[in-house]
Every structure is written in structure tokens, then in C-alpha cells.
């Protein structure tokens, strides 16, 4: 990932806390909707020259969304405090590269999103993820519903430009309802940040640091998961790293989420405002 750090620098890392984000991990239910309701001051900004309007303080990914513009995300999850770790949402704001998911929209911002340089950077991130994991899409149950794969389609990755690492990674299939296939984990931490028991306990956690970091699962807590909770965990994982057992390839090819519709096209078609 060194290449990417260099390309993007560290700008946009920090996020200003909004008054609603008192819980460090989770904003009160859905951040965007709450912010819309409580702060009605509007700001004007442009994305690739298009005039846009949104509520002040809104997260840039959501602000773009209501204006019918798709900014790709991987680690970001609506309603959960942004982590800003995958960098796929990089845009240029007033000329500087920033991660959209950690940035609040402000008056007069000039945002560049679908310009060749940004698109190329995003493609580089996607390719890096493909070579640093072991992504055998034809043998993956998430294929067709996978956000990483869908982004590779959207950015027309025919082959990664980097050599495949084929690093050894483990599968943990101890839990009765779920298994983790770390060959496909992109360490977005969506599972860690958002899947909790009612008392706030995390079912997933990260172990180790840097290159050695892996996702682990609390088997005791996972054992008590309902089918719905297991499904939610699987849906929250953008890739095929958290999968429900005994499901297999349940949706036929052609009917899966991204078989015929590119990721983000729903946003680009449905301008909700």
C-alpha cells in the first residue's frame, strides 16, 4: 500500500466531529438523515462543474449522492463514523486530494470527482487490493454481489498492473453460522465498526498491525447470532470475506446485484432532490 500512501498523501485523514457524533463509533442512528433534519443551512458547491446543493455539514459522499453523483466507497458505511482508510473515495477539493467520506461539505467547495487522474488513482487502489488478497472470483460466493469486484468492473480493470502476491491467508470456519475467508478481506473494518451486540460488544475485531493485521471473530458471541444477524454481517462485508454457511451460490448468474447494473448507477439515475 506504500504506493498509494505516496500518491494520496495524508490529507483528508482527520474528520471534524459533528455535534451528533458523540458516540465514537456510531453516530446517532443515521448520521446523514439526522444532520439533514437538525441543520438546515444550505451550502452550494460544485462537482466536476455541476452546481450542487446540500445541507451544511453533510458528509461529502452523501451530499454528492443527493445531487445524483456517485463517489465510490469501500470502507464507508452510512450511519457509522467514517474511517477514511480505503481511500477509494478520494476526490480533489479546491485542488487538494481528500477523502470524501471524512469531509464535510462546505460553501463554495470546488470538487473534482470523475477526472482522469482521480479515476486512475481509484483504479490503482482496486488493483492493489486484487493483488494483495487472493481473489479467485470464479470460486467466490460473493461474486456478482461484491463491491470490490463491482468497482473493478466500473473502472474496467482487465488485469492489475502489479504482480500478484499470492500470500498465504487463513480461513476461520469455527463459528456455526459464518466463516471468515481472509484471502478476500480488504481490512475495511466495516464489520468491526458496525456489528455489535445490544450491549455494545463487538463480534469482530482486528488483531495485529500493518501487514499482519487480520480480522478475528468472537466465537462465543458469533454462536449466539441469529440468522438475520449473520445475514447482516455478510451484507456489511463489501467482499466475500464474511459469508454465511450453507448458502452457497444462492442467486443465479444474471440475477445478482452487479451482473447488469454498474455500482453507483442507482445514485446516478435517482436524483432524490
Partner 1 sequence: MSKPIVATTSLAGCFGCHMSLLDIDERILELIELVDFNKSPVDDIKEFTQMCDIGLIEGGCCNSENVHVLKEFRKNCRILVSLGECAIMGGLPALRNNIPVRECIEEAYLNGPTVSGSNPDKILPNDQELPIILDKVYPCHEIVKIDYYLPGCPPQADLIWNALVALVTGDEMKLPYEVVKFD
Which chain residues interact with ligand SF4 by CB under 6 A? 135-137, 140, 142-143, 146, 148-149, 184-191, 215, 236-242
- Is there binding between residue 255 and partner 1 (CB under 8 A)? no
The least distance separating ligand FES from the CB of residue 12, rounded to whole angstroms, comes to 8
* 3-state percent breakdown (helix, strand, coil) of the chain, nearest 5: 30, 15, 55
The least distance separating partner 1 from the CB of residue 168, rounded to whole angstroms, comes to 4
Q: How far, in Å, CA of 31 to CA of 49, rounded?
A: 27
Q: What is the DSSP letter of 17?
A: P
Q: How far, in Å, CA of 54 to CA of 37, rounded?
A: 12
The least distance separating ligand FES from the CB of residue 89, rounded to whole angstroms, comes to 3
Nearer to ligand SF4, 45 or 204 (CB): 204
148-177: which residues touch partner 1 (CB under 8 A)?
A: 149, 152-153, 156, 158-160, 163-164, 166-169
HSE, CB side, 13 Å, CA atoms: give it for residue 21: 17
* C-alpha of 72 from chain center: 8
Q: How far, in Å, CA of 29 to CA of 34, rounded?
A: 8
Q: Which of 79, 176, 262, 264 binds partner 1 (CB under 8 A)?
A: 262
* C-alpha of 99 from chain center: 12
The least distance separating ligand FES from the CB of residue 82, rounded to whole angstroms, comes to 6
Binding site for partner 1 (CB under 8 A): 134, 136-140, 143-144, 149, 152-153, 156, 158-160, 163-164, 166-169, 253, 259-260, 262
Amino acid at each position: 500500500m506504500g504506493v498509494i500512501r505516496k500518491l494520496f498523501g495524508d490529507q483528508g485523514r482527520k474528520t471534524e466531529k459533528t455535534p451528533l457524533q458523540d458516540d465514537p463509533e456510531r453516530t446517532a442512528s443515521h448520521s446523514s438523515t439526522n444532520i439533514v433534519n437538525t441543520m438546515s443551512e444550505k451550502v452550494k458547491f460544485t462537482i466536476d462543474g455541476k452546481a450542487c446543493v446540500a445541507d451544511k455539514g453533510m458528509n461529502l459522499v452523501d451530499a454528492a449522492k443527493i445531487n445524483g453523483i456517485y463517489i465510490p466507497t469501500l470502507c464507508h458505511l452510512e450511519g457509522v463514523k467514517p474511517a477514511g482508510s480505503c481511500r477509494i473515495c478520494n476526490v480533489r477539493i479546491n485542488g487538494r486530494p481528500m477523502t470524501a467520506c471524512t469531509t464535510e461539505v462546505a460553501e463554495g467547495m470546488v470538487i473534482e470527482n470523475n477526472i482522469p487522474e482521480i479515476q486512475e488513482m481509484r483504479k490503482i487502489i482496486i488493483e492493489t487490493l486484487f493483488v494483495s488478497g487472493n481473489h479467485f472470483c470464479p470460486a467466490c460466493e460473493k461474486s456478482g454481489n461484491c463491491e470490490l469486484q463491482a468497482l473493478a468492473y466500473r473502472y474496467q480493470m482487465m488485469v492489475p498492473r502489479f504482480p500478484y502476491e499470492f500470500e498465504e491467508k487463513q480461513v476461520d470456519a469455527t463459528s456455526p453460522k459464518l466463516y471468515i475467508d481472509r484471502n478476500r478481506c480488504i481490512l475495511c473494518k466495516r464489520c468491526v465498526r458496525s456489528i455489535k451486540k445490544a450491549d455494545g460488544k463487538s463480534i469482530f475485531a482486528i488483531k495485529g498491525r500493518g501487514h499482519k493485521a487480520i480480522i478475528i471473530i468472537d466465537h462465543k458471541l458469533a454462536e449466539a447470532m441469529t440468522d438475520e444477524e449473520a445475514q447482516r454481517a455478510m451484507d456489511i462485508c463489501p467482499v466475500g470475506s464474511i459469508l454465511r454457511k450453507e448458502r452457497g451460490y444462492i442467486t443465479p448468474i444474471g440475477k445478482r446485484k452487479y451482473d447488469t447494473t454498474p455500482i453507483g448507477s442507482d445514485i446516478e439515475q435517482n436524483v432524490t432532490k
